[in-house]
A and B are shown apart, each in its own frame.
Chain A
Amino acid sequence: GQQLNQSPQSMFIQEGEDVSMNCTSSSIFNTWLWYKQDPGEGPVLLIALYKAGELTSNGRLTAQFGITRKDSFLNISASIPSDVGIYFCAGQRYNQGGKLIFGQGTELSVKP
């Protein structure tokens, strides 16, 4: 089936540290996205990537679309307490009605 493997599952870091998480797949995606989910809320789009090799930043967040189109990473620099939450990668293929396949999520805890 269509699966994304996201790692790590959880991270406990000190405020100010940088964070890196990634997603891999056995098959190609045309679009990679990163979402953040706070408790009891819906996923919020952070970054969308459309081309292999693309590197995109959104404030302290940077994400890359892997050259093979089978992976992506998300970096958060200088973490702050409000970065706490669950981060999900999601992949999309053309001609699948816009369907997103989500990774299992990375739960981030930031200690002030």
Chain B
Amino acid sequence: EPEVTQTPSHQVTQMGQEVILRCVPISNHLYFYWYRQILGQKVEFLVSFYNNEISEKSEIFDDQFSVERPDGSNFTLKIRSTKLEDSAMYFCASSEPKPGELFFGEGSRLTVL
């Protein structure tokens, strides 16, 4: 069964460093998303991406964040200068045009020290 894959599974970084999280969405999907989940809390929307541009973003997704689809398969989330409060599990998801049915990856755990 096709799946969303994410790397790395865990990254530890120093505050102020740049981090890039990578995702390979399901191959025939057209919508791509990043969500985050702080430990013990609910899953929060960060950004959605369609047709090579951001279609929706949350207030969390400030200027420190950016997304890119550098080639036909990868979808990346960059955090320019990490803060302690960026420590969370980051989930990539993808969907066909059909509304609602997002498929999530296993997540990348980011720890900022």
A102 and B43 within 8 A (CB): yes
A45 and B101 within 8 A (CB): yes
Q: Size class of B's contact patch?
A: 20 to 34
In the complex, 5 of the A-B residue pairs with CB atoms within 8 angstroms, ordered by the A residue number, are: A43-B91, A44-B104, A97-B31, A98-B56, A98-B100
A96 and B56 within 8 A (CB): yes
Tell me the nearest residue of chain B to A92, going by C-beta: B100
Main SS of chain B's interface residues?
Answer: strand
Supply 4 further A-B pairs (C-beta < 8 A) apart from A90-B100, A100-B100.
A41-B106, A48-B101, A94-B99, A98-B99
Q: Size class of A's contact patch?
A: 20 to 34
With a CB–CB cut-off of 8 A, which chain B residues contact A112? none
Q: In the assembly, what is the distance between CA of A100 and CA of B48, in Å?
A: 10
Q: Which of B48, B100, B103, B106 contacts A97 (CB 8 A)?
A: B48
